[in-house]
Amino acid sequence: MIEDHSSRPLVELWNLTGRRAVITGGAVGIGAQIARRLAEAGASVLLADIDQAAAAAMAADIAATGGQALSSPVDISDTTSIVDLVELAMSTWGGIDIWVNNAGIYPTTGPALDAEDDFIDRMMDVNVRGTFACSREAARRMRGGVIVNLASTTGFRAAPGISAYSISKHAVVGLTRALALEFAPLDIRVVAVAPGPIDTPGVRTQMTPLKEAGLDVEAVMARNPLGRRGVPDDIARVVCFLASDMAAWITGEVVVADAGSLAG
Ligand SMILES: NC(=O)c1ccc[n+]([C@@H]2O[C@H](COP(=O)([O-])OP(=O)(O)OC[C@H]3O[C@@H](n4cnc5c(N)ncnc54)[C@H](O)[C@@H]3O)[C@@H](O)[C@H]2O)c1
């Protein structure tokens, strides 16, 4: 562990050359842009997704622009699948430096009174146990490095109609803090980003019924103090910072990136 980075130039602190990064849910949306930016910063990236074809296409796209990118299938609700992913990274690279727990599923919007047990279980299996199991299996093999979780502003402030999703992201905030303490002796930082609404395929799918019901989705996406729609790169840049040595003194912390919405 480097104790004092003071004499290192800023450009070196940002640089991720030689780092090996796994991004779950890396096929589309926020995960894909995180992979693209980490590769641009010099990291080798492994895009892992339940949609293997889309992950392979995204990895090929990143490789075509000069990045070091691979893909793999993974279902983060299945621990065997996670272990296979970790072992693939180890056999390919010999180590893992950055692990991004980005894969997650969205709420079916609806009242808690109507929430089915199967739906609640699936939300917890992917967003909570999947994120926990990925962190555990990665940390067993990592020799220092950083785990970055995707939380959400709904992990701080609940909203009606998305109760299961909201509690799953509250859990990701808690998991970030708990694992930061446990993994600190391993020289592994555990941090999170909490995005506000970001324009991704997942969000667009979720909003389709609302749009069909007449909601002005574009206006809703820009309803925040900065007054503009969030895009995946607004989150990917934060992840690059947290993954880099710029953030070497940050662990157990959640950075909110929401154009100011939680401020009011
Ligand atoms: N977009 C937003 O507004 C927003 C806001 C706050 C938090 N987040 C969080 O950011 C992360 C990414 O969001 P997004 O909007 O890019 O999502 P998205 O739905 O557009 O993409 C998610 C990706 O994860 C993959 N995935 C889903 N289940 C998986 C599983 N079991 N195993 C492996 N891969 C799986 C999907 O195939 C997809 O490629 C999620 O954790 C989400 O909760 C998003």
Dist CA 27 CA 40 (whole Å): 17
- The 10s digit of each residue's pLDDT in 136-145 is 999 999 999 9
Residue type, 73: P
- Within-domain flag for 5: no
Which tokens go with 117?
A: 């047990």
Q: 3 in a domain, yes or no?
A: no
What lies within 8 Å, CB to CB, of 88 at 6+ separation is 46, 72
With the most atoms of ligand 1 within 8 angstroms of its CB, the residue from 80, 200, 208, 221 to mutate is 200
Does residue 149 form part of some domain? yes
Give the distance (Å) from ligand 1 centre to CA of residue 120.
Answer: 17
| Structural domain of 164 | 10-258
Look at residue 165 and give its three-state secondary structure.
helix
Any residues with CB less than 8 A from the CB of 241 and at least 6 apart, and which?
Answer: 247
Closest by CA to 2, choosing from 248, 254, 262, 250, is 248
pLDDT score for 106: 86
Distance CA 25, CA 101 (A): 8
pTM over 0.95: yes
Locate the ligand 1 atom nearest the alpha carbon of residue 198 and give its number.
Answer: 3
Q: What is the number of structural domains in the chain?
A: 1
pLDDT, tens only, 65-88: 999 999 999 999 999 999 999 999
* Pocket of ligand 1 from Cβ distances under 6 Å: 24-25, 27-31, 49-51, 74-77, 102-105, 126, 130, 150, 152, 195, 197-198, 200-203
**Could you read off the pLDDT of 88-129 as tens digits, one per residue?**
999 999 999 999 999 999 877 789 999 999 999 999 999 999
Residue 240 CA from chain centroid, whole number: 11
Query: Which residue owns the Cα nearest ligand 1 atom 10?
Result: 150
Instruction: DSSP letter for 143, please.
Output: S
**Catalytic (active site) residue 106:** no
User: Domain containing 69 — which CATH number?
Assistant: 3.40.50.720
Could you tell me the CA-to-CA distances from 210 to 54, 114, 262 in Å, in that order? 26, 18, 23
Dihedral angle of Cα 239, 221, 256, 182, to the nearest 10 degrees: -60
Calpha distance 19→80 (Å, rounded): 25
For residue 148, how many C-alpha atoms fall within 13 Å in the half-sphere facing its CB? 33
Tell how far the Cα of 4 is from the centroid of ligand 1, in angstroms.
36
